[in-house]
Amino acid sequence: MTHAAPRPLRAEAPRSPLSGRLGVPGDKSISHRALMFGAVAVGTTEITGLLEGEDVLRTAAAMRALGAEVTQTGPGAWRVAGRGVGGLVEPADVLDMGNSGTAARLLLGLISGHPIFAVMTGDASLRRRPMKRVTDPLSASGAQFWTREGGRLPLAVRGAADPLPIDYVLPVASAQVKSACLLAGLCAPGTTQVIEREATRDHTENMLRHFGATVTVQDTPQGRVITLEGQPELTAAPVLVPGDPSSAAFPVVAALLVPGSRVVVENVGLNPLRTGLLATLREMGAVLRVENERLAGGEPVGDIVAEYAGLQGVEVPPGRAPSMIDEYPVLAVAAAAARGTTRMRGLAELRVKESDRLAATAALLAANGVRAEIEGDDLVVYGTGGAIPGGGTVETHMDHRIAMAALVMGLAAQRPVAVDDAAFIETSFPGFAALMNGVAGGAAIGPA
C-alpha cells in the first residue's frame, strides 16, 4: 500500500496575535455515521457539512462497494440513496479503510448483520490497531471473523445469515465498540443491549433516533443501559454535520497560548459527551465563551470564543477521558504553557489510537524542552509558565493529532517546532495549515 511522500512542516510564533473567525471541518464521527445510516435507510439522505477528509472518503467508498449510491453534489454536500436495513450487498473487492479506526470498527458492526463476505484492510497505522475489541462481541451475533495475530487487519468477515441480538457490557469506555454492537443489532430481531460503565459519545444513538429507530438510554447502578429495538425501518433524513469539536480544539488552544489572541470558531458541535476539553481548559483559567447556541440534526451547536489567558495546571479526572479522548495531545501543549503541574489520569485508551498516543505525546513535549512523565496510565506535565522552549522535531508516527498538537506548540514556543510528516493531517482536518495561517496573519506554519 503506497502513501504520499512525507510532508515535513514547521510552525513558529506569528508576528501578531491570532485574530478572526473561522470554521473547522465537519465532525468526523457524525460524518462517518451519516454515510452509514444513509446507506441502510429507505430513501435518499441529503448530507450537508460532511467532512471531506481521507477517513470519511474511505467510508463513502466502502458504502458504494456495499451497494449504496453515494454522490457528492457540492462542497460538503452529499446524497446517499439507501438500501434499507439488511439490504447491503457483498463487495467485489477488499474494503480499504485507510487510517480510520472508527470507519473500520463501525463497518464491521454493520456487515455482521448481513449474510455477506468481506475483506477489510487499512494503512500501516490501522493495521496495528486492535479489532478484537469489536470482533469478540460481534461474534455473539453469529458473524465469523478471520484476523491476523492479535485480532488485527487485514481481516475477513462473514456476516450472520440469521443475526442474533447482542447483550454486551463494555469492558472499556469505547463509543466505537458500543456503536458496532448497535449497528449489528439493526438486522437482528428482538432487543440489542449495551451497558457502558462510563458514558461515551452518543452520536450513534442520536442518529439512530433521527432516522427513526427506537433507542432508549437508562442510567442504572450497573451503568448506562442503551437498548435498540431490532429490525427498524430506517427512513432517510437530512443530516447537517456540525464542526468537529476535536478539530476546533487546535485553534482554540492556539488562541489561549499566543499573547493577545482572540479567535471565534463557528458552528462547533457541543454534544455534552464531547466537551471535556472545554471543561478542563476553563478549570485551568481559560477565557472561553459559547455564543449562538442552537440545535442542528439533534446535536447542540455553537460558536466558541477563545481569548489569550495565563493557564494554571490542574488534575484531570479519569472519568473525563471518554469525553475528550482525542484532545489529550493538544491539552498537553496547553499544560506545557501553564503554571504548575497538570496530571491527566486514566489514559490507557490512548495507547491504542492511531499511534501509542500516550508515548507520542510525552515524546512531543520532551523534544521541545518540556518535562513530562508517564506514571502508569497517567501523563504528568510540568508546566513552563508560558515559556515553552521549542526547537525540536516531533515524530508523528502517522498520527494526525500528534502532528497538529506539535504545530500548535510551535505557534506558542520560543523557537520553531517541526514535525517529520504532516501528510496525515488531511485524514481529519483538510487545509489545517492554511486555516491557522489565516488567523495568524501570515505563514506561521510552512514547509520544514
Q: What is the pLDDT of residues 280-300, one digit of tens each?
A: 999 999 999 999 999 876 789
Q: Is the pLDDT of residue 1 over 70?
A: no
Same-domain status, 137 and 279: no
Q: Which residues contact 131 (CB under 8 A, 6 or more apart)?
A: 104, 105, 108, 147, 151, 152, 153, 155
What helix, strand, coil percent values describe the chain, rounded to 5? 30, 30, 40
Q: How many domains does the chain have?
A: 2
Mean of pLDDT values over 107-126: 97
What DSSP line would sit under 151-174, residue for residue? Answer: TEEEEEEE--SSPPP-EEE-SS--
pLDDT at 193: 98
Examine residue 233 and state whether it is found in any structural domain, yes or no: no
CA dist 201 → 152, 206, 270, 271 (Å): 24, 10, 11, 8
Grid coordinates of 442: 501570515
Between β-strands 378-382 and 341-344, what pairing exists: parallel, antiparallel or unpaired? antiparallel
Above 50 in pLDDT, residue 2? no
pLDDT for 4-62, tens place per residue? 689 999 999 999 999 999 999 999 999 999 999 999 999 999 999 999 999 999 999 99
Which of 364, 357, 362, 439 has the alpha carbon at shortest distance from 407? 364
Active site residues: 326
Backbone angle region of 142, left / alpha / beta, with phi > 0 → left and psi within -120 to 50 → alpha: left
CATH of the domain at 121: 3.65.10.10
Q: Tell me: do 251 and 395 sit in the same domain.
A: yes
Cell triple for 121 = 484492510
Share of the chain above pLDDT 70, in %: 99
Q: Print the domain residue range for 136.
A: 28-227
The model scores a pTM over 0.95: no
pLDDT at 433 exceeding the cut of 90: yes
Average per-residue pLDDT in the chain? 95
**Are 168 and 181 contacting, i.e. CB atoms less than 8 angstroms apart?**
yes
More confident residue, 277 or 351: 277
80 and 67 in contact (C-beta within 8 Å)? no
Please check whether residues 155 and 209 belong to one and the same domain: yes
Q: Give a yes or no: residue 4 inside a domain.
A: no
Closest CA to 36 of 210, 228, 173: 210
Side-chain-facing half-sphere of 6: CA atoms under 13 Å = 13
- Helix (H) / strand (E) element for 382: namely strand 378-382
Average pLDDT, integer, range 149-159:
96
In a domain, 313, yes or no: yes
In a domain, 15, yes or no: yes
